[in-house]
Amino acid sequence: GEPASQQANRRNGATRKVLKGNDGAVPIDIPRDREGSFEPELIQKGQTRIDGMDDKIIGLYAAGLSTRDIRAHLEEVYGLKVSADLVSRVTDAVLEEVSDWQNRALEPVYPIVFLDALRVKIRDAESRQVKNKAVYVALGVTAEGEREVLGLWIAANEGAKFWLSIMNNLCNR
């Protein structure tokens, strides 16, 4: 035969991958080639989850479940064994998005701004106990009449000092 450097690229078997999705774990075979240049179109290299699973993890996290509880739920309901690292990566990505949203630049002027605080039951991250907390909400109305949530903040209770810090935060953004 020809030297390896002159041969055309060829198929070289397949690699087994397990996709985790809404309907459980599904094993699939991903074709390989000798040069390693084959790029699958539907399931990308390194992808192990399909749409919807991250939403389920986020929903369970928002409901106050711990990483361990989320893993147990996914295994019990969907037959999926996911690592604590995966759950943490998904929830950390959401927390980063929330932080970016909370610190985003605002319009220079909102002709109308509504401020309110709601008392809601929230699971405390450290103690794991459900406690009543104040959720501060700032809602702005643009010159075009569009309503926009300017921010959400959580505190143990409602108070003038916290409102002042919110107003300063809004002015600085």
Per-residue pLDDT tens digits for 113-172: 999 999 988 777 677 778 888 999 999 999 999 999 999 998 888 889 999 999 999 999
Contact yes or no for 11/31 (Cβ under 8 A)? yes
The alpha carbon dihedral of 139, 144, 146, 148 has a sign of negative
Compute the C-alpha angle 61/67/73, nearest 5°.
80
Number of independent structural domains in the chain? 2
Please give the mean pLDDT across all residues of the chain: 83
Same domain, residue pair 22 and 93: yes
Amino acid 67: pLDDT: 86
- On whether residue 60 sits in a domain, the answer given is yes
Same domain, residue pair 18 and 89: yes
Distance CA 141, CA 1 (A): 74
- On whether residue 106 sits in a domain, the answer given is no
Please name which of 172, 169, 133, 135 lies closest in space to residue 152, comparing C-alpha atoms: 135
Same domain, residue pair 55 and 35: yes
Residue pLDDT, tens place only, 77-96: 877 777 888 888 888 888 88
Amino acid 24: pLDDT: 62
CA torsion, points 84, 89, 92, 96, in degrees to nearest 10?
180
Last residue of a domain, one of 61, 81, 101: 101
Distance CA 49, CA 93 (A): 15
Residue pLDDT, tens place only, 6-58: 678 888 888 888 877 655 666 778 888 888 888 776 666 766 666 677 788 88
**Which residues are registered as beta bridge partners of 132?**
121
- On whether residue 156 sits in a domain, the answer given is yes
